[in-house]
Chain A
Amino acid sequence: MNEDRGDVVLSVRNLKTHFPTDDGVVKAVDGVTFDLHQGEVLGVVGESGCGKSITMKSVMQLVGKPGRIVDGQILFKRNRDGTNTEEVDIAKLRTNGKKIREIRGGDIALIPQEPMASFSPLHSIGSQIVEAVMLHQDVSKQEAKRIAIEKLNEVGMPSAEQRFDAYSWQLSGGLRQRAIIALALACNPSILIADEPTTAIDVTTQAQILELLKRLQREHGSSILFITHDLGVIAQLADHVVVMYLGRVMEQGAVSDVFTHPRHPYTRALLASIPSLHSEPRIELPTVAGGIPHPLQRPNGCPFHPRCPDAIPGTCDVAMPKLLDVEQSKVACFLHHDEAEEADA
């Protein structure tokens, strides 16, 4: 499938990130598998608490205590100088060790959710970008400053040279977001991880930022992992999408395919809950029935079955369906197991 996609740059295999607590183990990420291809935008969607942020933090080994990657692989094709590629299993790296510190910021950069809180209020934005440049590139301070201003210009920061000395709290929300993108781009990373980067800003600015990300992605050919709960943003920006629920992948595939032919009942429910311009006015918007269960009380079998309109008693509440190829997508649902096995055969 998907022969026209580029090389896989990041392959997450059966990733499990668990949080042991006094009351039991919270399985925030419990067997997630997906591939990120060169030059594509992969959207990761799901309700709050479905483990999408923890998945992304795991990729950078940034999971806070007491969380820990307990199983699985995060295979990253590292290619700094453009010649030799080495494959690194990030899941095996020591948290805060030398290797992961080289990868963080240098190869995989984060675009965080709250740009206001993500800049230190005590240091100018310029100095924080210069710091990143000098960490990963062997350049002088002047050269680093030149690079920083170049990046600020690239993300459309007006009068970048003066803004270099500005503090984050002196900038507007949109400019702050641009500044943090400049920081992420500072070392030309091959992967950008955007963690709901547009939640904190208004819709107009949001559109501009998405436009910017699209342009940067085209120009640099970098790959973006884009986390959001906003399906509209995914439709605009992403090539492929991963739908997560309670730490597991429910469905994944090309956006065009998944959004037009959602196969998993959860994906269908999410899509149905989006208001449409063409729907009748004043009708009640469908919602996904029920709420996300308590993290320590995960249902047996398919985690979605208590909320699923099509759940098969005796099947869905007993075993977890495998993630299987169904036409162009992958779906983890018993409703599609027969088709999948036929496809396999």
Chain B
Amino acid sequence: MHLFILKRLLIAPFLLAIFSVIAFVLIQAPPGDFLTSYIAELAQGGTSIGQEQIEALRQQYGLDRPTYVQYFVWVGNLLQGDLGTSFEWRRSNAELIGERLALTLTMTTISLIFTWAIAIPAGIISAVRQYSGIDYVITVLNYIGLATPNFLLALLIMWFAFDQFGVTVTGLFSPEYVAAPWSLARVADMMSRIWLPALVLAVAGTAEVARVVRANLLDELDRPYTEMARAKGLPEWRLVLKYPTRVAIAPVISTLGWYIPRLLSGGLVVSVVMSLPTIGPLLLRSLIGQDMYLAGTIILLYSVLTIVGTLLSDILLALLDPRIRTA
């Protein structure tokens, strides 16, 4: 087991190196650089900027150097813990990303808990009571959940809350806490609001996970080991939860690794609609403004989270299934 984790930890740096190249290539891919979009923006505002000044800026930002040099400077700085500076915000990336990342992770985790807490029981009930009334109800809800774009759901909830209770549910903080320093009261305020966007984000995932659990469990319920457990005299619910369910939820756990980045990007539209200070809108803005080091750092962070998520799901799977542990 320890060897199993160690092996995966050893692979991680290599994966990260590959991802950093891909991230860098991606952010270099659009034509032009930060300065071209900066100049274009200035021009739109009616200001123009001299050629000399442009060259000076280009040198200052290191944009005149060959691409591979830029890459190694970036990676070198990253390795020293320096996440670089945002061109656009003229602040350090670490500062820009820090709080947003924490908020995003909190929201994602809560959303994941919602998803599993709702979807796994729903899938189990749906499978055990196949073709019953409750199965049909869950199935219909699932399809509605899958088919509803989550930003639309967010809009509907915002409208409903405002119309019925006169409450604005946008943002993660009440107005008095937006700029306040961290305190227990601020955390409490955040928790009182964060569950709503988390729930909105969880809806589509819930529907999907419930379908996967239902389909897998239906297969496992017909297996001889399920019948054998019944032939031993085990009560039905106990045997369903102990034997086939443990097999049926493995695919759900194995997708934990993708779940995190998917929520980060999937949450973008919801974050924009609900004005949430999460990382998605920051990435969007940095891509539009060709704020390359900020964008690259965020993309690389997504990769790190994916690797961590996958490692986590591998460990969970190994705990669940001895065949993985001993392989």
- Footprint of B on A, CB under 8 Å? 60, 62, 64, 96, 101-106, 109-110, 112-114, 117-124, 131-132, 135-136, 167, 169, 180, 183
Distance, CA A96 to CA B240, complexed state (A): 12
A164 to B223, CA, bound (A): 23
Instruction: Flag if B231 contacts A117 (CB, 8 Å).
Output: no
B229 within 8 A of A: yes
> Which of B231, B246, B322, B323 has a CB less than 8 Å from the CB of A110?
B231
Closest Cβ of chain B: how far from A75's Cβ, in Å? 20
Question: Given A117-B225, A118-B228, A136–B243 Cβ distance below 8 Å?
Answer: no
B90 in contact (CB, < 8 A): no
**B320 touching A112 by the CB < 8 A rule?**
no
In the complex, chain B residues whose CB is within 8 Å of the CB of A104: 230-233
* Bound complex: CA A187 to CA B169 (Å): 60
Cα A159 to Cα B321 with chains together (Å): 24
Chain A residues with CB under 8 Å of B225's CB are 117-121
A122→B224 contact, CB < 8 A: no
Q: Is the CB of B235 closer than 8 A to any CB of chain A?
A: yes
A135 touches B234 (CB 8 A): yes
Number of contact residues on B: which range applies? 20 to 34
Does B236 belong to the interface (CB within 8 Å)?
A: yes
Q: Assuming A96-B230, A104-B233, A135-B233, is B243 touching A120 (CB within 8 A)?
A: yes
Q: Say if the beta carbon of B55 comes within 8 Å of chain A.
A: no
- Cβ contacts A to B, 9 pairs, < 8 Å: A104-B233, A112-B227, A114-B224, A122-B247, A122-B320, A123-B243, A132-B233, A135-B233, A169-B323
Contact with B234, one of A110, A121, A131 (Cβ below 8 angstroms)? A131
Within the complex, the shortest CB–CB distance from A123 to chain B, in Å, comes to: 8
Complex Cα gap A136–B233 (Å) = 8
CA distance A167 to B234 in the complex (A): 20
| Chain B residues within 8 Å of A135, by CB | 232-234
A60 touches B231 (CB 8 A): yes
Inter-subunit contact A118/B230 (CB<8 Å): no
For window 195-244 of B, CB contacts with A under 8 Å fall at 222-225, 227-236, 243
Chain B residues near A101: list those with CB within 8 A: 233-235
- Which residues from B are CB-within-8-Å of A120? 225, 229, 243, 246
CA distance A224 to B243 in the complex (A): 28
CB nearest to A61 among chain B residues: B230
A221 to B123, CA, bound (A): 46
